[in-house]
Structure formats: structure tokens, C-alpha cells
Amino acid sequence: MFGALLCFFRDRVGLSQEALGSKIGFSKSQVAMVERGKRPPRGKFVPRADQVLGAQGALLAAAAKLSVSHLASWFTEFAEEESRASSRHEYETHVVPGLLQIEDYARTVLSHTYPSVDDEEVEGRVAARLERQRLFTRKPAPDIGFVLELSALTRPIGGPQVRRKQLRHILEIAQLRHVQMQVMSPDRKTHVGLDGPFVLLETEERRQLAYIEGQGGSFFISEQPDLGNLFGKYGILRAQALSPEASVKVIEEAAEEV
């Protein structure tokens, strides 16, 4: 909405994006990204634009209400459902789940995306990821479970020190009464989750959802029989994985080996 308002005032005075950028000290691409809602206005952008466009404080007032999200647009709906969930269960194969990532681990992961983003955007995404972890301390506490492939825990993302801290953090989370942490035995020749990772949510109204994420996109599954199949699959994965007690020992050993 802020971008649309900026575009309205710019068109009203007959300035191009390039001309406005020149007058307020920003590039054409920066003006364009603000108008498309791809980047929040930074620095002196708003007061200068308000003055040049004769907006009489309208842009200043709009900017004061501006809420900036660093979550990917295709992830926002899931994050909203997750924050209200009464239960959340995840099977992960190749990286520590975002809900379990420490700051340094998250920063390493989010710094190596394609296309690349600037440092400010990386820090915004790190903060957004850490903010989601309030789910662990929310009241009433949701029921949370993980089934993790050992390869997701042993990949040396961030280097030995970060990996050690990350594993210790997972062990701390595993001690929470409402969290069940399980590791899939690396010795198991096969199991029902080989199709890939997924997340299961149950809302306060007991509505069930499954969430699957891929390269740059995601989708919910809310209809039967696919929804029931994924909930059934997770139940089997829990049975095929190591017990929570044995899983803790495996994670401890992995931390000691770093």
C-alpha cells in the first residue's frame, strides 16, 4: 500500500521513477522496488519523497504505519498458521529445521541463497527466523515433534564451532516437556519418508494441515486422502526412528565428535 501511494503521488506530479530517484538521492531501481513492495524505504527516502512530491505529510504518516516482513511471500501464510498451531511436527532430511537453528547457523544458511541478497536483508531474515522460535515458549504450549535425518545434523554448516553450538541447542530444546526429538537411524536401509521433508500442523480448531516446501515455493495440503496419508506417514516415521532417549545419545555423540 505504501508503494501504491508513492506511485500515486509520483504520477500526479508527472515524474518518472528515474527523475524522482535523482531528486531524492536514490536510484531508479530503488524507487521501483519500493513501489512494488519489494524493499522498504530506507534512510531519508520518505521525508525527501514527501517533500518533492508535495504529499503534505501523507507519505510520512503512511511510513509510520509501515510493517516490514522479511519472510518470503510464499512462506508468510505458513508462518501465521504455525504461530497459532496447537501441534507442529516435522520430518527433515538435509538441514537443521529453521525452528531449531541458532543465530550463527541461520545466518550461514541465509547468506548463501540464490539470488544473493544484501547484508541488511540477511539480518532481517535471521531475525524473522529467530522470532518464529517463540513457539517453544508460547502459552499454552503446543505439542512439537521432530524426526531428523542424522545427515541434517552432521553437515558442517558454519564450521565446527557453529555446528557444536547448534547440536547443543538442539539437545536443550529436546529437554522441553512438550517437545519430542527423534533421529532416524542412519543404519536403517529404508523408511516411509524417502519422498522428502514435510511439516504437519493442527490448529486451535483442530483443523489439520500439511506443508511441503521446495525450491523457492511451497504449498499446503488440506484435503483427503493426501492429508491423512501424510499424518499416517509421520506416525510410521516416529515408529521407525530411534526413541527420544536414544536420539539424544546420538546427538550428544555427534556434538562430542566435532
The beta strands (E) that lie in the chain are given as 87-92, 143-149, 179-184, 198-202, 208-214, 217-221
Kindly tell me if the per-residue pLDDT of 176 is higher than 70.
yes
Q: How far is CA 36 from the centre of its chain?
A: 22
Architecture in CATH of 2-64: Orthogonal Bundle (1.10)
Kindly tell me if the per-residue pLDDT of 257 is higher than 80.
yes
Nearest Cα to 211, choosing from 84, 88, 94? 88
Residue 67 and residue 91: Cα distance in Å, rounded? 32
- Write out the three cell numbers for 73: 511471500
Residue 210 and residue 201: Cα distance in Å, rounded? 6
Q: Which long-range contacts (CB under 8 A, 24 or more apart) does 78-82 make?
A: 78/199, 78/211, 78/218, 78/220, 79/132, 81/201, 81/203, 81/209, 81/211, 82/132, 82/135, 82/201
Question: Which sequence spans correspond to the domains of the chain?
Answer: 2-64, 76-257
Q: Please report the pLDDT score of residue 115 as a whole number.
A: 86
Write down the CATH number for the domain with range 76-257.
Answer: 3.30.870
Query: Distances from the Cα of 169 to the Cαs of 52, 89, 141, 166, in angstroms?
Result: 51, 18, 19, 5
Kindly tell me if the per-residue pLDDT of 177 is higher than 90.
yes
Report whether the peptide linkage leading into residue 40 is cis, meaning its omega lies within 30 degrees of zero: no
- Write out the three cell numbers for 101: 537453528
**114-125 burial string, b = 16+ CB within 10 Å, else e?**
eeeeeeeebebb
Q: Please report the pLDDT score of residue 74 as a whole number.
A: 58
10 Å Cβ neighbour count for 146? 27
Q: Please report the pLDDT score of residue 38 as a whole number.
A: 74
Using DSSP's 3-state secondary structure scheme, residue 92 falls into: strand
pTM: 0.75
Which pLDDT tens digit goes with each residue over 114-151?
888 888 889 989 999 999 999 999 999 999 999 999 99
